[in-house]
């Protein structure tokens, strides 16, 4: 029995030591919310950014799946939640999620501009959620303050990052020579779009930014 207890104790100490090791990676959890979006970023410093929160018609399911990622990342709060735009497959699980974990900052593009479910949710539900934390309207060109990760907002509310903010920007792009304009609805072009840099790793999360808005960026 003593041998067994010693072995178990050694295993637990080993697990505790592994858990105590400092995080060195930028961890990205792409949560399956069955057609919408929920992507969780966790920095080496343990700071977290969640972009969107799944579908309204699967709110409990999607909040549960986000919480699975939260637990895997050993988070006790979500530091920044970016709502890219007011469509139900992006804000859907937010209310349910807010009941399960503190959300410190809510970031969006400002007022909804499209009639329908998003307008109702923004008026009736959303203010109650961000009243529990900080509410920030994102502006193109600003950064989300994170340790060791450069997180820049490159589009929001139909505006794009000023060319003066980026070295070498505002030059003709030959890949855009044959561009044909196309847009689809009122809220997608308003999406909060992010460009994330961690060392030599770069990625972008553009919400549902439309072809016309992507053309402006390119």
Nearest to 29 by CA among 61, 74, 84: 74
Q: Render pLDDT for 153-210 as a digit per residue (tens, 0 to 9).
A: 999 999 999 887 777 777 888 989 999 888 778 999 999 999 999 999 999 999 999 9
Which residues, other chains included, contact 213 with Cβ-Cβ below 8 Å and sequence gap of 6+?
155, 158, 160, 189, 191, 193
Average confidence score pLDDT of the chain: 90
Count of helix runs (H) and strand runs (E) in the chain: 7, 11
Q: Render pLDDT for 132-150 as a digit per residue (tens, 0 to 9).
A: 999 999 999 999 999 999 9
Using alpha carbons, list the distances in angstroms from residue 199 to 6, 51, 149, 151: 42, 21, 8, 12
Q: How far apart are CA 25 and CA 27, in angstroms?
A: 6
3-state SS class at 81: strand
Residue 115 scores a pLDDT above 80 = yes
């Amino acid at each position: 029995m003593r041998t067994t207890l010693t072995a178990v104790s050694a295993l637990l100490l080993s697990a505790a030591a592994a858990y105590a090791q400092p995080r060195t990676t930028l961890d990205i959890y792409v949560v399956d919310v069955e057609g919408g979006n929920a992507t969780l970023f966790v920095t080496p410093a343990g700071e977290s950014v969640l972009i969107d929160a799944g579908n309204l018609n699967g709110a409990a399911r999607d909040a549960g799946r986000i919480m699975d990622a939260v637990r895997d990342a050993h988070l006790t709060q979500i530091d920044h939640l970016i709502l890219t735009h007011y469509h139900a497959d992006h804000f859907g699980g937010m209310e349910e999620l807010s009941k399960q974990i503190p959300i410190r900052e809510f970031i969006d593009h400002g007022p909804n501009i499209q009639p329908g479910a998003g307008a109702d949710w923004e008026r009736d539900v959303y203010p109650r959620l961000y009243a529990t934390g900080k509410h920030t309207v994102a502006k193109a060109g600003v950064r989300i303050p994170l340790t060791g990760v450069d997180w820049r907002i490159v589009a929001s509310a139909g505006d794009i990052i000023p060319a003066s903010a980026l070295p070498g920007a505002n030059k003709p792009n030959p890949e855009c020579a044959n561009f044909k304009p196309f847009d689809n609805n009122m809220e997608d072009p308003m999406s909060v779009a992010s460009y994330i840099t961690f060392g030599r790793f770069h990625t972008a999360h553009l919400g549902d930014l439309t072809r016309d808005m992507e053309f402006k960026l390119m």
